């Protein structure tokens, strides 16, 4: 069992490690935020088959839906509300194993079971979040948190 877990976590890390240079090449010298967010969402969805991958961007003190891949989603989220709003408010990555146990979780789809939200922080300010949803319980862990944080830290430097 422990061996299986190590193997699975290792495989996930390998996929992230291979994906990051691909995304960097894909972005190249493009600086348009919408274009880059759209391709990053598509690349993550394609590599892992996640249920929903997308960005919410801070506009007029709200999170507004940005480029995403997956089913239609809620368009606006208030600061502190749901997993995305709390990640924004705390400027922290949140990993939720079971969305039904997260107080105030915003259910854009009843099929979403677990979630990770990573803030996009530029010059100390949260400018948006990356939200990734799974249709299985407990999909995300510290491996996802580490690699998605690295991805987002880099992304804010190129947009």
Indicate the SS3 state at residue 142. helix
According to the binding rule CB under 6 A, does residue 131 interact with ligand SME? yes
* DSSP-derived 3-state class of residue 62: strand
For residue 130, which phi and psi values (nearest 5 degrees)? Answer: -100, 125
Could you give the count of Cα atoms lying within 13 Å of 110 in the half-sphere of its Cβ?
A: 0
Does 55 contact ligand SME by CB under 6 A? no
Binding flag, residue 73, ligand SME (CB under 6 A): yes
* Cα–Cα nearest to 96, from 77, 118, 75: 118
Q: Does 118 bind ligand SME (CB under 6 A)?
A: no
Pick one of 37, 52, 88, 140: the residue that binds ligand SME (CB under 6 A): 52
| CA-based nearest residue to 119, from 148, 98, 99, 97 | 148
Question: In the stretch 5-24, what mask flags binding to ligand SME with x, by CB under 6 A?
Answer: --------------------
In the complex, the smallest distance separating the C-beta of residue 94 from ligand SME, rounded to whole angstroms, is: 9
User: How many residues bind to ligand SME according to rule CB under 6 A?
Assistant: 15
Residue 74 touching ligand SME (CB under 6 A): yes
Tell me the window of 14-22, 26-34, 69-77, 142-150 that interacts with ligand SME (CB under 6 A).
69-77
Residue whose C-beta lies closest to ligand SME:
82
Please give the Cα distance from 8 to 107 (Å, whole number). Answer: 28
Q: Is 133 in the site for ligand SME (CB under 6 A)?
A: yes
For the record, the structure tokens of 83 come out as 């997993």
Instruction: Give the helix, strand, coil percentages of the chain, each rounded to 5.
Output: 45, 25, 30
Q: What is the contact surface with ligand SME in residues (CB under 6 A)? A: 52, 73-74, 77, 82-85, 105-106, 108, 112, 115, 131, 133
């Amino acid at each position: 069992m422990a061996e299986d877990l190590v193997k699975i976590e290792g495989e996930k890390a390998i996929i992230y490690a291979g994906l990051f240079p691909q995304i960097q090449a894909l972005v190249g010298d493009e600086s348009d935020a919408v274009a880059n967010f759209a391709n990053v969402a598509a690349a993550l969805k394609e590599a892992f088959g996640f249920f929903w991958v997308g960005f919410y961007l801070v506009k007029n003190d709200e999170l507004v839906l940005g480029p995403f891949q997956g089913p239609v989603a809620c368009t606006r989220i208030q600061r502190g509300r749901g997993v995305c709003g709390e990640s924004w408010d705390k400027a922290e990555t949140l990993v939720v194993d079971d969305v039904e146990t997260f107080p105030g979780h915003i259910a854009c789809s009843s099929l979403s079971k677990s979630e990770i939200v990573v803030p996009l922080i530029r010059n100390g300010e949260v400018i948006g979040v990356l939200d990734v949803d799974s249709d299985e319980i407990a999909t995300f862990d510290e491996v996802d948190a580490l690699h998605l944080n690295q991805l987002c830290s880099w992304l804010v430097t190129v947009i």
